[in-house]
Amino acid sequence: MYRYDEFDHKFVRDRTQQFRDQAERRMNGTLTEDEFRPLRLMNGLYLQLHAYMLRVAIPYGTLSGRQMRQLAMIAEKWDKGYGHFTTRQNIQYNWIKLEDTADILEALAEVEMHAIQTSGNCIRNVTTDHWAGAAADEIADPRPVGELLRQWSSLHPEFSFLPRKFKIAVTGAPNDRAAVKVHDIGLRLHKNDRNETGWEVIVGGGLGRTPMIGVTVRGFLPEPELIGYLEAIMRVYNLHGRRDNKYKARIKILVHELGADKFKSEVEAEYAKRPQASTEVEERELQRIAAYFAAPQFEKHSRWSAAFEEAKLGNPDFARWAKNNLGVHRVDGYAIVNISLKPEGGIPGDATAEQMRLMADLAERYSADELRVSHAQNVVLPHVKKDDVFAIWRALQGADLAPANYGLAGDIIACPGLDYCALATARSIPIAQSISRKFADLDRQEDIGKIKINISGCINACGHHHVGHIGILGLDKKGEEFYQITLGGSSAENASIGSILGPGFAGYEVADAIETILNTYIKLRQPGEEFLAAYRRVGPKPFKEALYAAA
Amino acid sequence: MPLLKNNTLISDTWIHAGAESQLPEAGDIIVPFARLLKDWETLAQHNGKLGVELGNAGRAEALATFLPKLSVIVLPFPAFNDGRAYSIARQLRQMGYRGELRATGNVLPDQLQFMLQVGFDTFDIGERFPLAVWQQASRQMSLAYQRGLFRRGSEAEIWTERHTDADPWLEQPHAG
């Protein structure tokens, strides 16, 4: 894992001091709320429906045990004892006081964390594959590039007042778990036939009210050129992105309005003018950073663990959890443990301070002191010996952290919605809870198989409903919440935007509608065919008929 | 209106000529970009220094041929969160412009350091905040990760510091 050096420490301390001063000026009235707003937002502090919300960056989703423990401490000391892991691999605290914020930022700085640029019209926390460094299908760990981009984008003087927020995602694997095609910039690693690696640069993807799949502007950019090339993209966007309408201000609209070719030629022209062609510093910095991400010392084990197999035989609940919640590790004898933060009827992504501490303990004891937060709002122990998996499951079970629903219908992604968020038009959490209860039976979830259900409480799409296999969007119709259903979305390497199925539903009808859709799928699927594949084969018609025929 | 330069207040001795108004016989003048294009032949003969105000939807390249004759370029911030002028400023500096680069409009202390870092050196600050606030705001962060910024002696670029033996950037002059 990356460790701060003296410079990183000083940078974050300076920033915390700067925020303390700004917050004091706001509290004594010398800064107006309008002027304070962008400053607090650039430090992750939102004013929500009931209180301030602080969004803390978890760069590329990676945490150590010590950092997770500090997040637990903050939840207890300054919030109500829990936190909410978000779809951008961050954590949010929903009940923060302005006067405590600088102290919280100081507590974060102690463990090499911050809340810089988790909001505002700037480059946000860089996200990546939550299995980075562990996945069997990976070409290379994308986190060194994630850290390079974190540093480069931090308080970038030229790009702190962009037309709109800017999100970058990075993946080092061909199976895209980082949704790179629906980010403002997505970076995907490729290997050519000479065994060299290069980055595909995808620009202009996004969700929100105008969902779009990004376009590739460079197919194979050498790694040290990333910073210079991204500077060129950012400059073209900063100069020419629309500022007249915030709903048309994301880079996807610029790419769309200029056309991909014209946009690309603007970027290339800007890149050609770069003042420094040498990338020696970037190369050295990448090497310096990469050394921190060296793989842990894996022990030599056979792929087959007797302890693991015996535990499964002796305990069907464990066997089921192991079948659903483990990912394939690149080293024999190891597994990736996916901890589902989606208990039946729970709030997706919420964890209590005790749960955070337990996960920290498990990471320190069994997973090379590493945790990951996934964009699906779960927590990952990336490097676990198969021999230890049973002990981990037992510990998780005692803390309500062992739902065996990873990747299944109960593993729902949902934004905070109208229960917390000032932008929301409808509640998300109760919808997630009702679906989760409806499909509480794990036999049924397993029968349905792999499915992504995503819920957003407004058109801004923080729950990524456009790319859910089943997406649910909460809207307000004359003071009543109602929910639109989309089918066929995907954020994976074959990304697609879901299509709206038909008229919306009242909140109490949504879980039944999802059930009808899934029953329809079960009737028409071919052997082994997952929901998304079946939908892509048959289209919306049978689902529409099943849902709306009765009415 | 006072200007901020090198952390002190100076008075603005430039005459701001409008799009149509009569040009003064002599003295240092700032004209809008459209007038620079329209009246270039007259302006090139003007008895005094010449400056231009470029709107933030303008392109830096449009000033390329004029740069050797310009002593000040004014870039407006219609709102503090309209960040286009940051990029234009950097482009002008990268094109080799070494004259005065002035920020005007909604210029606030909390953005001062960013403006300095991209190459602005004078600031049309109005009278709302005392000088001490501006002075403090100009040095809030002692470090930056990005390279090729304008900075003062007390400020450092982190990547450059970490890799002192790699090729240096062309040294940027210290700004306001």
DSSP A230-249: HHHHHHHHHHHS--S-GGG-
Half-sphere exposure of A270 (CA within 13 A, CB side): 26
Interval A518-538: pLDDT, tens: 999 999 999 999 999 999 999
Is B166 in contact with A280 (Cβ distance < 8 A)? Answer: yes
Interval A347-399: pLDDT, tens: 999 999 999 999 999 999 999 999 999 999 999 999 999 999 999 999 999 99
The secondary structure element, H or E, covering residue A414 is strand A413-414
Residue A425 Rama label (left phi>0; alpha psi -120 to 50; beta): alpha
Mutation target for A interface from B75, B80, B136, B146: give the one with most A CBs within 10 A: B146
DSSP A135-171: BTT-SS-SHHHHHHHHHHHTT-SSSSS-SS-B-EEEE
Predicted pLDDT at B175: 43
Give the nearest chain A residue to B165 (CA atoms): A281
Nearest CB to A7; choose among B115, B148, B161: B161
Which of B121, B60, B127 lies closest to B95 in space, CA to CA?
Answer: B60
Helix/strand/coil for A309 = helix
Nearest CB to B145; choose among A39, A151, A238: A151
Average pLDDT over residues A465-469: 97
Interval A154-164: pLDDT, tens: 999 999 999 99
Residues of B in contact with A15 (CB under 8 A): 141
Q: How many CB pairs under 8 A join A and B?
A: 112
Q: How far apart are the two ends of chain A, measured CA to CA in Å?
A: 56
How many other C-beta atoms are found inside a 10 Å radius of the C-beta of residue A261?
Answer: 10
Is B87 in contact with A276 (Cβ distance < 8 A)? Answer: no
Average pLDDT over residues A39-49: 89
> What is the distance between the alpha carbons of residues A297 and B85, in angstroms, rounded to a whole number?
50
> What is the distance between the alpha carbons of residues B90 and B96, in angstroms, rounded to a whole number?
10
Residues of A in contact with B113 (CB under 8 A): 157
Residue B172 Rama label (left phi>0; alpha psi -120 to 50; beta): beta
> What is the distance between the alpha carbons of residues B121 and B73, in angstroms, rounded to a whole number?
11
Instruction: Please say whether the beta carbons of A416 and A94 come within 8 A.
Output: yes
DSSP A8-37: HHHHHHHHHHHHHHHHHHHHTTSS-HHHHH
Nearest CB to B143; choose among A14, A156, A239: A14
> What is the distance between the alpha carbons of residues A202 and A254, in angstroms, rounded to a whole number?
14
Q: State the residue for tokens 């970038």.
A: A156
Predicted pLDDT at B115: 97
Residues ≥6 apart with Cβ < 8 Å to A442: A320, A404, A405, A408
Residue A129 has pLDDT above 50, yes or no: yes
Render each residue's pLDDT in chain B as its tens digit; 176 residues: 789 999 999 999 999 998 888 889 899 999 999 999 999 999 999 999 999 999 999 999 999 999 999 999 999 999 999 999 999 999 999 999 999 999 999 999 989 999 999 999 999 999 889 999 999 998 889 999 999 999 887 889 999 999 988 776 655 554 43
B94: exposed, middle or buried (Cβ count in 10 Å: 0-12, 13-18, 19+) = middle
Predicted pLDDT at B153: 77
Amino acid at A390: F
What are the C-alpha distances in Å from A485 to residues A245, A346, A504?
27, 21, 7
Which of A465, A468, A448, A454 lies closest to A523 in space, CA to CA?
Answer: A448
- As a whole-number percent, the residues of chain A with pLDDT over 70 amount to 100
Predicted pLDDT at B140: 86
Predicted pLDDT at B152: 80
A393 alpha carbon, distance to own chain's centre: 24
Helix/strand/coil for A206 = strand
The secondary structure element, H or E, covering residue A56 is strand A52-56
Q: What is the CA radius of gyration of chain A?
A: 23
| Strand pairing category for A480-487 and A499-500 | antiparallel
Instruction: Please say whether the beta carbons of A116 and A154 come within 8 A.
Output: yes
Two structure tokens written together for B174: 């210290």
Q: How far apart are the two ends of chain B, measured CA to CA in Å?
A: 18
Is A157 in contact with B115 (Cβ distance < 8 A)? Answer: yes
Predicted pLDDT at B21: 84
> What is the distance between the alpha carbons of residues B36 and B50, in angstroms, rounded to a whole number?
10
Amino acid at A378: N
The secondary structure element, H or E, covering residue A506 is strand A505-506
Interface of B with A (CB under 8 A): 59, 80-84, 86-88, 90-91, 94, 108, 110-111, 113-115, 117-118, 140-149, 156, 158-163, 166-167, 169-170
Residues of B in contact with A38 (CB under 8 A): 80-81
Residues of B in contact with A7 (CB under 8 A): 143, 156, 158, 161-162
Chain B nearest CA to A156, separation (Å): 7
What does the DSSP 8-state code read for residue A495?
Answer: -
Residue A307 has pLDDT above 50, yes or no: yes
> What is the distance between the alpha carbons of residues B73 and A52, in angstroms, rounded to a whole number?
41
Residues of A in contact with B148 (CB under 8 A): 275-276
Phi first, then psi: what are they for A284, rounded to 5°? -65, -40
Two structure tokens written together for A73: 């401490």
Query: What b-and-e string marks burial along B49-69, b requiring 16 or more CB atoms within 10 Å of the CB?
Result: bbbbbbebebebeebeebbeb
How many other C-beta atoms are found inside a 10 Å radius of the C-beta of residue A272?
Answer: 9
Average pLDDT over residues A415-430: 92
Instruction: Please say whether the beta carbons of A428 and A457 come within 8 A.
Output: yes
Predicted pLDDT at B20: 83
Predicted pLDDT at B168: 65
Which of A408, A470, A496, A474 lies closest to A207 in space, CA to CA?
Answer: A496
Interface of A with B (CB under 8 A): 5, 7-8, 10-11, 14-15, 17-18, 21-22, 35, 38-39, 121, 151-152, 154-162, 235, 238-239, 243, 273, 275-276, 278, 280-282, 284-285, 288
Give the confidence band of A11 by pLDDT, cuts at 50, 70, 90: very high
A177: exposed, middle or buried (Cβ count in 10 Å: 0-12, 13-18, 19+) = buried
The secondary structure element, H or E, covering residue A256 is helix A251-258
Two structure tokens written together for B152: 């003062």
Predicted pLDDT at A461: 92
Residue A550 has pLDDT above 80, yes or no: no
Residues of A in contact with B158 (CB under 8 A): 7-8, 11, 151
Interval A229-288: pLDDT, tens: 999 999 999 999 999 999 999 999 999 999 999 999 999 999 999 988 889 999 999 999
How many other C-beta atoms are found inside a 10 Å radius of the C-beta of residue A56?
Answer: 24
